[in-house]
Amino acid sequence: MRMITLAAAQMGPIQRAEEREIVVRRMLALMDEAKGKGCDLIVYPELALTTFFPRWYMTDPTEVDRWFEREMPNDAVRPLFERAASYRMAMSFGYAELTPDGHHYNTAILTDRSGKIIGKYRKIHLPGHSEFDPERTHQHLEKRYFEPGDLGFPVWRELGGIIGMAVCNDRRWPETYRVMGLQGVEMVLIGYNTPSVNAQKGAEGPEKRLFHNRLSVQAGAYQNACWVVAVAKAGNEDGFPMIGGSMIVNPDGEIVAEAKTEHDELLIHACDLDDTLFGKQTIFDFARHRRIEHYGLITSRTGAIPPP
Ligand code: ING
């Protein structure tokens, strides 16, 4: 038995005008609740400190950079690090990262139980577009405001297991899980902000989006025999709805905990990392079953090329 009592800390909407300090107070309340339930690790959503600002078309770099953190931790979030350390609780959350040399990433971090940052991941699969698109009912300008991540899909030994991270759209791409699976990952932490309606296809609403959310996360967990925790920023931000549906999925691909609301909501589950072993030693024993001599197109070809 290698137990991690896991807290998925779903957050409700953050309005554009909401200050980081108010958001951090909401995150601290969730952390207190998690402590009360003996959690070892708390996972917050993507871009947990601010509204989902890539929905807004901005042209002034100064205005854009107001949504980014120049250092981590910083004064606004230090209370989170201090309280997590006092609780001996590891934590993960997403934020917009502006590096000293001027690069912009959609980033997630992982701390150990002492509040030290031991892992950083920068979102690789950036959805949406980079210029204003009048055809869309709402903008999704992640390709405008972020660069693709440059750190790959690393994993870290922490809390007695092997932990990796991904961000939002990454969860829809099997490569995300597989690259970590090939490093033995046992638990993947994923935050997301997912609009409730497809900006290009109004008929695709929350039911379909929640279905795709479950489908992607359950497949990733099952096909790599690992735990996956997916944590939403949910609800209506300045008139733009986002799905909830935060969940904890076991290495068999089963949902063991799922959010019921679109508000701040804590999901707790005692995860045994040893539950990953049977899948890794049998059906998904990669070493025994994979045939990489046939997989070349996966890394040599970006877009699909149909036969003539
Ligand atoms: N949000 C959405 C996500 O991948 C999206 C964007 C939704 C893309 C549905 C494709 C389909 O969940 C972020 N932030 O990636």
Q: Where exactly are the structural domains of the chain? A: 3-300
**Structure token digits, residue 238:** 């300045």
CA 8 – ligand 1 centroid, Å: 19
Token look-up 């997912």 returns 194
Nearest-atom index, ligand 1, CA of 167: 15
| Ligand 1: residue whose CA is nearest its atom 3 | 169
Question: Across the beta sheet with 161-167, what order do the strands follow?
Answer: 155-158, 161-167, 187-192, 227-232, 247-249, 255-258
CA 226 – ligand 1 centroid, Å: 22
Residue 23: count of CB within 10 angstroms of its CB: 19
What was the pLDDT predicted at 231?
99
Please state the pTM of the whole predicted model: 0.98
| 216 Cβ below 6 A of ligand 1 | no
Query: Is 39 an active-site residue?
Result: no
Three-state SS across 68-106?
CECCCCCCCCHHHHHHHHHHCCEEEEEEEEECCCCCEEE
Q: What are phi and psi of 74, to 5 degrees?
A: -135, 175
Q: Are 84 and 32 in contact (CB under 8 A)?
A: no
Residue 113's alpha-carbon distances to 106, 119, 184, 288, in angstroms, are 24, 13, 22, 36
What was the pLDDT predicted at 221?
99
N- to C-terminal Cα separation, the chain: 54
Packing angle, helices 78-87 and 20-36, rounded to 10: 10
pLDDT < 50: residue spans in the chain: none
- To the nearest 10°, the Cα dihedral for 296, 302, 303, 307? -30
What was the pLDDT predicted at 149?
99
CA 168 – ligand 1 centroid, Å: 6
CATH match for 3-300 among 3.40.120.10, 3.60.110.10, 3.40.309.10, 3.30.540.10: 3.60.110.10
| 10 Cβ below 6 A of ligand 1 | no
